[in-house]
Chains A and B, each alone.
Chain A
Amino acid sequence: MRYVVGYTANARGHDAVHLAVALARNHDVSLDLVLVIPEDSPFNAVYPPEAGYNDILNEQAQRWLDEGLDLVPEDVTARAHIRRGDSEAQTLIDAAMEFDAAALVIGATNSGLLKRFTIGSVASSLLHSSPVPVALAPNGYHRMEPITRLSCGFGTRPGADELLDVAVESARDRGLPLRLVSLLALDGGNSPGLADAAWVHAADRLAAVGSPAVGGSAEAAGSDVPEPEIVVAQGRTIEEAVDRLDWEDGEILLIGSSRLAQQRATFLGSTANRILRALPVPMIVVPRDYTRQSS
């Protein structure tokens, strides 16, 4: 299996490589570092005309990629590619399709002035259009050890069951403990009724996708992985709910998304953005209707 890493020679790119290595170590995955350089439009009307800038840019890109490959430890296979394109996001998607990649890994935020509060434009466009799962490394992600726990953000929107399928399967494949996380934003303070309802709903859905019984003491069927845990987190805002949860260093959150033109404004525009803003661990956004390749 291959992961495409959207590489840039800055903190954002380093975060992406670190996360990609961590993910690769859970699974037999090789990495493709892709550096996108822009395609000049002749219609920009640069004068006096020159034709050599791109040679310098190419040379620089090769050096940047060498640095990127140096970040990858010996036990992980990695290749590097320079790609040209107007849109960095689209070029990464094209590369992911070309390599038949299982995921795209990128750093979530530009290391700009407002880094804590913004998702980079590349990450943002990928979240709205990528046909493969997108793994977002939070700003300053340094860990390269394997992932230790998989969380799955769980809601009541259509598509939640498919996401749950993906989560259960991924956790099983990688031998990771799974945690179902239901985030509730309640303006009026705590509401035990709602939280209980969310818990019951999550347990129902989990049972429906064929996972072992939840809440009881039943042994997980056919696997030595601990049974999935269900957590309902609440706060006045989504950010507060995320803050209140405990996160392991090696955790990763799986979350569903809608493709372009399908609820993207409601789901990715608000909730995912807000989760990412508060989330201390990486996040994988799975496209709607995404069926995992059998690995």
Chain B
Amino acid sequence: MSTAPKTVQSKDSSLSEKGLKAGSVGLIGAVVIGVSCIAPAYTLTAALGPTVSEVGVHLPAIFLVGFIPMLLVALGYRELNNAMPDAGTSFTWATRAFGPWIGWMGGWGLIAATIIVLSNLAAVAVDFFYLMLAQIFSNPELGELSKILPLNIATTLVFIALACWISYRGMETTKGVQYVLVAFQLLVLGWFAVSAFAHVANGTAFDATAISPDWFNPFAVDSFSQFAAGVSLSIFIYWGWDVTLTMNEETKNPEKTPGRAATITVLVIVIIYMTVALATLSFAGVGETGLGAGNPENQSSIFAVLAGPVMGPFAILMSLAILSSSAASLQSTFVSPARTMLAMGHYRAISPKFGKISPTYKSPSFATIAAAIAAAGFYVITRTVSENALWDTITALGMMICFYYGITALACVWFFRAEAFRGARAFFFKFLAPLVGGVILLVMFVKTAMDSMDPEYGSGSSVGGVGLVFVLGMGVILLGVVVMLVMYRLRPEFFKGKVLTRA
């Protein structure tokens, strides 16, 4: 029997270890990751209709313009991520820059945006799930099942619960699956565009509309309100693109891969968005009847309506592409609000319960379940109140992204204010780009918020004479303020700056 004393734990893991496989991602891999974060098939079906309803044929122009603030803010995001890698991202950075109150709201905005997108992803997945059943069994009645409210809500909750469970178990989408998903999405979207143009050429399009240079002119949009709404929606379609910029050690060539991958991702995405947007407009026009892209009936999920007439029997591939990409995104998107809540719990900005990690699966346990409950709750409320839940959640989501991304960008400017004028590189990446991007996003946020008070805004749902989008967007932010004040009473140490100090 040994009598040797117990030795002290040997620390053979260094804290600098990031937990990511170093050097495992090449250029193509990084582009695949970038495209999969955007999930173009899902984003297009969700955002194309609402954007057309605001800007009509100027859709291509808005899609191009919407990329600019996204790019500017992403550059600032990258600087913050390099200087202060932290699970709390926007929450931590805004706290370090502006103090606990704004930091807390930044974190809340990020959580709210990801929760909203979770419920929208689940809803889109459910729609296409039933649509696919209808296509498989050639029975359109099955597709109508998704319109039965209790069944729709029940199925969506099942999807959310499944994704939550997978995320809780720490299961991840593997490289092979991700390559297939991305290739499949791009292939099907390309197919859709080619078929649509073929119909236009053959004279079999619903409302063949000739492409005009005017479509690319953002200044031709009727009003600033519509322009702001369009831009805040197109922020959503690029949300995810910048993931490649923040990749470092995991790439095979940290010097060059992230920048090149980001550029290629943007090119791929812009090309596919432009092609599909032009194809949709040329095929269907912006008329408000039938298959027209201006028909409010079609706008919540454009491919659900157009894929059949455009692709014929192969429309089932579109359903499959959207279902698979939104299901994969649903699972990976769960990670984000869970980790932000975990970080906020860790820094005592909310209950430390949120900081719990599952001993078995090593994933944020309490926070993942909380995210699922919040997403489910948000969906049930929106679906019950709104005439068109998908549409209104996407519009509210655009607002929320503008809000937290705007705060993050300005946090970058303020955090690096001392180094901003040390050379041209610092001036551009740490000051000018995030400043301009952040200001644009916050202006879009304020403008959209004001416009959305109109009961006719978005899908035209309203609560007490105020537009539903406003109620959803501002309601969530106000709820955040209330929760923050409660937290201030319960755990003042964070709000007194004792946990995370201002830089």
Least Cβ distance of B14 to chain A in Å?
A: 9
| Chain B, Cβ-Cβ closest to A9 | B359
Map CB proximity to A onto B71-102 as digits: 1 under 8 Å, 0 otherwise: 00000010001000111111010000000000
Least Cβ distance of B402 to chain A in Å?
A: 14
Asked if A47 meets B37 with Cβ closer than 8 Å, knowing A8-B359, A56-B346, the reply is yes
| Chain A, Cβ-Cβ closest to B329 | A45
The complex places the Cα of A55 from the Cα of B328 at a distance, in Å, of 26
Q: Which of A37, A44, A46, A79 contacts B362 (CB 8 A)?
A: A37
The complex places the Cα of A44 from the Cα of B336 at a distance, in Å, of 11
The complex places the Cα of A8 from the Cα of B332 at a distance, in Å, of 25
Q: Which of A37, A49, A81 contacts B12 (CB 8 A)?
A: A81
- Does A260 touch B at the CB level, under 8 Å? no
Q: Which of A9, A54, A77 contacts B6 (CB 8 A)?
A: A77
- Does A110 touch B at the CB level, under 8 Å? yes
The complex places the Cα of A99 from the Cα of B375 at a distance, in Å, of 46
Least Cβ distance of A67 to chain B in Å?
A: 10
- Does A66 touch B at the CB level, under 8 Å? yes
Residues B178 and A45 in contact, CB atoms below 8 Å apart: yes
Residues B19 and A84 in contact, CB atoms below 8 Å apart: yes
Least Cβ distance of A187 to chain B in Å?
A: 38
- Does A246 touch B at the CB level, under 8 Å? no
Asked if A10 meets B36 with Cβ closer than 8 Å, knowing A52-B87, A55-B87, the reply is no
| Chain A, Cβ-Cβ closest to B404 | A48
Residues of chain B from 175 to 228 with CB closer than 8 A to chain A in the complex: 175, 177-178
- Does A76 touch B at the CB level, under 8 Å? yes
Residues A10 and B359 in contact, CB atoms below 8 Å apart: yes
| Chain B, Cβ-Cβ closest to A46 | B335
Residues of chain B from 1 to 36 with CB closer than 8 A to chain A in the complex: 1-7, 9-13, 15, 17-21, 24-25, 29, 32-33, 36
Residues A47 and B19 in contact, CB atoms below 8 Å apart: no
Q: Which of B2, B12, B170, B329 contacts A30 (CB 8 A)?
A: B2
Query: Of the 9-residue stretches B243-251, B276-284, B289-297, B308-316, which lies at the interface with chain A?
Result: B243-251
Count how many pairs of residues, one from A and one from B, have CB atoms less than 8 Å apart in the complex: 180
The complex places the Cα of A194 from the Cα of B110 at a distance, in Å, of 70
Map CB proximity to B onto A42-74 as digits: 1 under 8 Å, 0 otherwise: 111111111111111111111011100100101
The complex places the Cα of A94 from the Cα of B121 at a distance, in Å, of 40
Asked if A54 meets B9 with Cβ closer than 8 Å, knowing A44-B172, A45-B33, the reply is no
Most chain A CB within 10 A, of B239, B340, B357, is at: B357
The complex places the Cα of A8 from the Cα of B358 at a distance, in Å, of 10
Most chain B CB within 10 A, of A26, A53, A82, is at: A53
- Does B156 touch A at the CB level, under 8 Å? no
State the majority secondary structure of interface residues on A.
mixed
Residues A52 and B17 in contact, CB atoms below 8 Å apart: no
- Does B480 touch A at the CB level, under 8 Å? no
Residues A84 and B2 in contact, CB atoms below 8 Å apart: no
Residues B19 and A52 in contact, CB atoms below 8 Å apart: no
**Contact partners of A8 in chain B: CB under 8 A:** 359-360
Asked if A78 meets B332 with Cβ closer than 8 Å, knowing A39-B21, A52-B88, the reply is no
- Does A249 touch B at the CB level, under 8 Å? no
Asked if A41 meets B175 with Cβ closer than 8 Å, knowing A47-B37, A52-B86, the reply is yes
Residues B332 and A46 in contact, CB atoms below 8 Å apart: yes
Least Cβ distance of B250 to chain A in Å?
A: 5
Residues B250 and A42 in contact, CB atoms below 8 Å apart: yes
Most chain B CB within 10 A, of A44, A48, A58, is at: A48
B interface bracket (residues with beta carbon within 8 Å of A) = 35 or more
Least Cβ distance of A173 to chain B in Å?
A: 13
**Contact partners of B355 in chain A: CB under 8 A:** 56
Residues A42 and B6 in contact, CB atoms below 8 Å apart: no
Least Cβ distance of B96 to chain A in Å?
A: 12
- Does B317 touch A at the CB level, under 8 Å? no
Most chain A CB within 10 A, of B6, B10, B340, is at: B6
**Contact partners of B336 in chain A: CB under 8 A:** 46-48, 50
The complex places the Cα of A45 from the Cα of B85 at a distance, in Å, of 17
Residues B36 and A45 in contact, CB atoms below 8 Å apart: yes
Asked if A77 meets B7 with Cβ closer than 8 Å, knowing A44-B172, A54-B18, the reply is yes
**Contact partners of A55 in chain B: CB under 8 A:** 15, 85-87
| Chain A, Cβ-Cβ closest to B25 | A42
The complex places the Cα of A153 from the Cα of B41 at a distance, in Å, of 58
- Does B173 touch A at the CB level, under 8 Å? yes
Asked if A57 meets B19 with Cβ closer than 8 Å, knowing A8-B359, A49-B246, the reply is yes
Asked if A64 meets B9 with Cβ closer than 8 Å, knowing A43-B29, A49-B81, the reply is no
Residues A43 and B362 in contact, CB atoms below 8 Å apart: no
Residues A76 and B6 in contact, CB atoms below 8 Å apart: yes
Asked if A81 meets B2 with Cβ closer than 8 Å, knowing A44-B173, A51-B81, the reply is no
Least Cβ distance of B103 to chain A in Å?
A: 15
Most chain B CB within 10 A, of A12, A25, A42, is at: A42
The complex places the Cα of A46 from the Cα of B90 at a distance, in Å, of 15
Most chain B CB within 10 A, of A12, A29, A39, is at: A39
Least Cβ distance of A70 to chain B in Å?
A: 9
Q: Which of B87, B172, B177, B360 contacts A50 (CB 8 A)?
A: B87
Asked if A74 meets B13 with Cβ closer than 8 Å, knowing A9-B359, A42-B24, the reply is no
Least Cβ distance of B339 to chain A in Å?
A: 5
Q: Which of A54, A76, A81, A146 contacts B10 (CB 8 A)?
A: A81
Residues A53 and B339 in contact, CB atoms below 8 Å apart: yes
- Does B500 touch A at the CB level, under 8 Å? no
Residues B243 and A47 in contact, CB atoms below 8 Å apart: yes
Residues A47 and B20 in contact, CB atoms below 8 Å apart: no
Asked if A10 meets B15 with Cβ closer than 8 Å, knowing A51-B81, A51-B246, the reply is no
**Contact partners of A60 in chain B: CB under 8 A:** 357
**Contact partners of B21 in chain A: CB under 8 A:** 39, 41-42
- Does B143 touch A at the CB level, under 8 Å? no
- Does B343 touch A at the CB level, under 8 Å? yes
Asked if A54 meets B33 with Cβ closer than 8 Å, knowing A43-B175, A45-B178, the reply is no
- Does B333 touch A at the CB level, under 8 Å? yes
Least Cβ distance of A116 to chain B in Å?
A: 17
| Chain A, Cβ-Cβ closest to B401 | A48
Residues A76 and B2 in contact, CB atoms below 8 Å apart: yes
The complex places the Cα of A80 from the Cα of B8 at a distance, in Å, of 8
Residues A58 and B343 in contact, CB atoms below 8 Å apart: no
Residues A64 and B359 in contact, CB atoms below 8 Å apart: yes
Asked if A51 meets B7 with Cβ closer than 8 Å, knowing A57-B357, A77-B2, A84-B19, the reply is no
Residues B17 and A43 in contact, CB atoms below 8 Å apart: no
Supplied contacts A48-B243, A50-B339, A61-B13, 10 more A-B pairs, CB within 8 Å: A43-B33, A45-B37, A45-B243, A46-B335, A50-B88, A53-B339, A53-B343, A69-B6, A76-B6, A79-B9
- Mind listing 18 A-B residue pairs with CB under 8 Å? A9-B359, A28-B2, A38-B19, A38-B170, A42-B247, A45-B243, A47-B243, A47-B333, A48-B110, A49-B242, A50-B87, A51-B18, A52-B87, A52-B89, A53-B343, A57-B362, A79-B9, A81-B12
